[in-house]
């Protein structure tokens, strides 16, 4: 068996198991793990230094997840799905949900209602419907493989999907969104990179949230991908108590550049149910962005974006487009229209 598959099998998947390694009472958390999936790879587990640290908070269930505040489908994605495996919001690009599981489960995940439940894993028929939809929709130039995490699929399954998409004449580029370089860097094998290389132009956006995730193993995984000619970007989520700090974000973005990964987006937390304890105010995010501008290279300055509720789409948050009235933010969009957004008061 491949080493990465073995490592995945050795993941911690219950709070009871975790209590064997750290001194805490797992009993109250059983209700959380029954509601949302739980998995930590050995690599990611080894990054935890103490209970409650930024790595722990990202992967260990928390009672606050049972708080029902928030929306089940915060981005209105279900309405934008012509077939169950495709989210088609912008004319020229579509998300293709090819996997129902991940190497590890993030407590702040916007799709936490879906990922990790076996019933949500796409069937072969649903994958075929997705490819047929993309093939029949000539406006789609950019296909984003997502999930779940596409890189937990076996090489052969992934290659079959890539080959089918690659041969659709109107598809110009393929992107993969994956947190595997962070949670399971051993998955980025030479064999995987050799296979991916055949489906250029290929972009991979990964998901580092904290400088402590920039391990030698993760750096080696990114180097293998970059050496295969895959363009690497990173999407960070701004998380209260984890990385909502100018020093931490600055260190993260500079460290990513050293790993040949360009910071692409800093996401404001959306309103997914069970994640509200991670949300910061937009004002905090803007302050962090402002702190980056001087000391950090333009290469390390991503767009700070918010995915507005109800399927309105991603909007860059720029101070010159925001007016504040109490806790309401009035955000002016590129087309001149405005939307209101209730910010957190910190
Ligand atoms: C974010 C997103 C994309 C990709 O958008 P880019 O800004 O091009 O990275 C595509 N479709 C949906 C539904 C999205 O949320
Ligand atoms: S890897 Fe991505 S899809 Fe999977 S749980 Fe984390 S944020 Fe969600």
CB-based contact 187:4 (threshold 8 Å): yes
Cα 303 to middle of ligand 1, angstroms: 13
In the chain, the percentage of residues whose pLDDT exceeds 90 is: 77
Cα 145 to middle of ligand 1, angstroms: 11
Active site annotation includes 342: no
The region of weakest confidence among 125-129, 168-172, 300-304 is 300-304
Q: Is the CB of 106 under 6 A from ligand 2?
A: yes
Q: Which ligand is nearest to the CA of 90?
A: 1
CB-based contact 49:18 (threshold 8 Å): no
Atom of ligand 1 nearest to the CA of 75: 15
Distance, CA of 177 to CA of 228 (rounded, Å): 17
pLDDT at 333 over 70: yes
2, 53, 90, 262: the catalytic one is 90
Q: Alpha helix (H) ranges present in 188-278? A: 190-196, 216-227, 246-258
In sign, the C-alpha dihedral spanning 209, 212, 213, 219 is: positive
Cα 108 to middle of ligand 2, angstroms: 8
pLDDT band at residue 211, thresholds of 50, 70 and 90? Answer: very high
pLDDT at 312 over 90: no
CB-based contact 10:44 (threshold 8 Å): no
- Residue-level pLDDT at 275: 94
DSSP 122: P
Atom of ligand 1 nearest to the CA of 265: 9
* pLDDT single digits (tens) 217-258: 999 999 999 999 999 999 999 999 999 999 999 999 999 999
End-to-end alpha-carbon separation of the chain, Å? 50
* pLDDT single digits (tens) 269-295: 988 899 999 999 999 999 999 998 776
Which of 62-71, 83-92, 311-320 has the highest average model confidence (pLDDT)?
A: 83-92
**Cis upstream peptide for 303 (omega within 30°):** no
CB-based contact 189:197 (threshold 8 Å): no
Active site annotation includes 227: no
Average pLDDT over the chain, rounded to whole? 93
Cα 205 to middle of ligand 1, angstroms: 12
Active site annotation includes 111: yes
Active site annotation includes 141: no
Kind of pairing between the strands at 93-97 and 338-342 = unpaired
Q: Alpha helix (H) ranges present in the chain? A: 3-9, 15-19, 30-35, 42-45, 54-59, 124-135, 155-166, 180-183, 190-196, 216-227, 246-258, 282-293
- Residue-level pLDDT at 54: 98
Pocket of ligand 1 (CB under 6 A): 87, 89-90, 93, 95, 144, 314
Which domains are delineated in the chain? 67-319 (3.20.20.70)
Q: What is the C-alpha radius of gyration for the chain, rounded to an integer number of angstroms? A: 20
Q: Within 10 A of 135 (CB to CB), how many other CB atoms are there?
A: 16
């Amino acid at each position: 068996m491949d080493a990465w598959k073995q490592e995945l099998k050795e993941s911690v998947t219950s709070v009871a198991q975790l209590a064997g390694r750290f001194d805490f009472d797992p009993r109250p958390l059983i209700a959380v793990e029954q509601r949302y999936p739980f998995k930590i790879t050995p690599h990611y587990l080894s990054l935890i230094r103490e209970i409650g640290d930024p790595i722990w908070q990202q992967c260990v269930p928390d009672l606050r997840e049972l708080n029902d505040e928030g929306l089940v489908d915060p981005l209105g994605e279900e309405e934008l799905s012509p077939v169950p495996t495709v989210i088609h919001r912008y004319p020229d690009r579509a998300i293709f949900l090819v996997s129902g599981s991940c190497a590890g489960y993030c407590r702040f995940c916007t799709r936490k209602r879906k990922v990790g439940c076996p019933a949500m894993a796409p069937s072969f028929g649903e994958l075929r419907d997705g490819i047929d939809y993309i093939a029949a929709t000539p406006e789609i130039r950019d296909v984003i493989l997502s999930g779940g995490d596409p890189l937990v699929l076996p090489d052969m399954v992934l290659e079959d999907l890539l080959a089918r998409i690659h041969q659709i004449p109107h598809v110009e580029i393929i992107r993969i969104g994956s947190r595997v370089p962070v949670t399971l860097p051993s998955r980025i094998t030479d064999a995987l990179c050799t296979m991916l290389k055949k489906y250029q132009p290929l972009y991979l956006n990964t998901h580092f949230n904290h400088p402590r995730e920039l391990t030698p193993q993760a750096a080696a995984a990114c180097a293998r991908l970059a050496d295969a000619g895959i363009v690497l970007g990173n999407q960070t989520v701004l998380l209260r108590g984890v990385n909502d700090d100018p020093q931490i974000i600055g260190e993260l973005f500079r460290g990513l550049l050293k790993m040949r990964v360009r910071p692409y987006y800093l996401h404001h937390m959306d309103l997914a149910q069970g994640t509200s304890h991670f949300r910061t105010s937009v004002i905090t995010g803007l302050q962090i962005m402002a702190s980056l501008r001087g000391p950090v290279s333009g290469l390390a300055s991503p767009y700070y974006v918010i995915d507005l509720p109800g399927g309105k789409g991603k909007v860059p948050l720029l101070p010159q487009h925001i007016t504040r009235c109490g806790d309401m933010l009035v955000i002016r969009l590129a087309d001149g229209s405005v939307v209101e957004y209730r910010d957190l008061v910190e």
